[in-house]
Amino acid sequence: MTAIGRRYNASFQQTMLRIKDPKVSVPFYERHFGMKLVHRYDFPQWKFSLYFLERPRDAAAAALPSPGTKASEAYLWSMTGTTLELTHNHGSEEDDSFSVWSGNCGSDLPAESPLFRAGVVRGFGHIAFNVEDVYAMSAALEAAGVAFQKRPDEGRMKGLAFCLDPDGYWIELVKREEGLFPEPQNLSQTMMRVKDADRTIHFYRDILGMDLVRAMHIPGDFTNYFFANLTPAQREAMADPESAEARAAVKTLWQPVLELTHNHGTEKDDAFHVHTGNSEPLGFGHIGFLKPAGRGEGLLIAGERRASFSRLPRRRPRGDVQGDGAGGRPLPQEAAGRRHEQPRIRPRPERLPGRARAARRLVRRRVLQLLRSGARRVQHARGTPFRVSVCRWASPLPTARRCARRARGVRPTADAATPG
């Protein structure tokens, strides 16, 4: 059975993070990581704004439309890349007590850990950028005043680093092959913790249609699963996810992957639930998948992590997937309904008896034959018990039963036979 996400050509398109001050956060990502503001939404009536940033290829950056225009909105909902969606609740920049939760402090850590925090379990982990030289990048960032959670030579894992953005979200710096891309860095990961590895693999691979590109096992501790939306050519070239070659193969991708971390044993603990970031303490909001316009309507599939499907074109962003304001404050009922109502799916018609279904198929076939033969239009007869949905023309015959008997002998009327 084809996965739902692959059936609708859905792809990983956004990671939403709440921020305190866009005048600080947006320039931070633009200046240090080459990201571009591709579009923004302002909702003064609901007191929040959304900023979408992408790390485009340098050759394409000059052609990006100005943010906040219809052209930039069209680009956002038709792009093939992945964005950071930064959500700003108006007024938070003036609140000295405001802070967001990075996702890396929780009660699932030992009590003596500096990251221990009672009352919450770790969930979201970090985003990541691949760079050619982690040490040089770290030194440049530190010289520019960027704070670090871990420098390349600290801790057990040497050669990788974690810096902090203005709101305290962790940004991992990962080494990639030299000369792979001319750009100095590329957005490469969104990491989230999960409870049950088997359910997670089933959800992202078999339902959302992502490809499992790597599995990294640390016996007795944790396993990292890496998922990506691959093209057929990339899928053909990708190594087995359990092989040693998979590590290098993942780093050849320009687009980011989802890194899902399973700490062994949590699947057996009924009381264990990761914190999504959409209730106190607030921070990470959701990941989003974009489907091209055309087939079907938008979908919302809920699992261990919220994944929102966006349909093109779209006039208004989904915003916070839980139905409250982007900062957790309730919206007015009318406004909340407009922002968060699910895309309307056309209801399935009642199933007709077998004879009527056969008659309808004959009507459709005959209408198409008439139109292809030069008929300009096909008149609707009031006695017809159903409408022809193909091409939006109605049956020209008085009844379905007579249609079934005389379909082959029907001829277009003089009016209908007039060439278009």
**Active-site residue numbers?**
172
As a whole number of angstroms, the distance between CA 260 and CA 255 comes to 16
Question: 226 and 191 in contact (C-beta within 8 Å)?
Answer: no
DSSP state of 379: P
Residues 6 or more apart whose CB falls under 8 angstroms from that of 54 comprise 35, 36, 38, 79, 81, 82, 83, 84, 187
Residue 74 to residues 33, 89, 277, 284, 287: CA-CA distances in angstroms?
Answer: 24, 24, 29, 25, 20
Please name the residue that has the structure tokens 């062994």: 264
DSSP state of 407: G
Please name the residue that has the structure tokens 């919220």: 306
Please name the residue that has the structure tokens 């680009």: 75
Please name the residue that has the structure tokens 């989003």: 288
As a whole number of angstroms, the distance between CA 295 and CA 277 comes to 32
Question: 18 and 100 in contact (C-beta within 8 Å)?
Answer: yes
Question: 337 and 323 in contact (C-beta within 8 Å)?
Answer: no
Question: 169 and 126 in contact (C-beta within 8 Å)?
Answer: yes
Of the candidates 354, 253, 337, 326, the residue with the CA atom closest to the CA atom of residue 91: 326
Residue 262's DSSP bridge partners are 194, 223
Of the candidates 168, 174, 192, the residue with the CA atom closest to the CA atom of residue 28: 168
As a whole number of angstroms, the distance between CA 357 and CA 399 comes to 13
- The sheet with strand 170-175 has its strands ordered as 148-150, 161-164, 170-175, 124-131, 185-194, 257-263, 222-228, 211-218
What's the token pair of residue 98? 């405001």
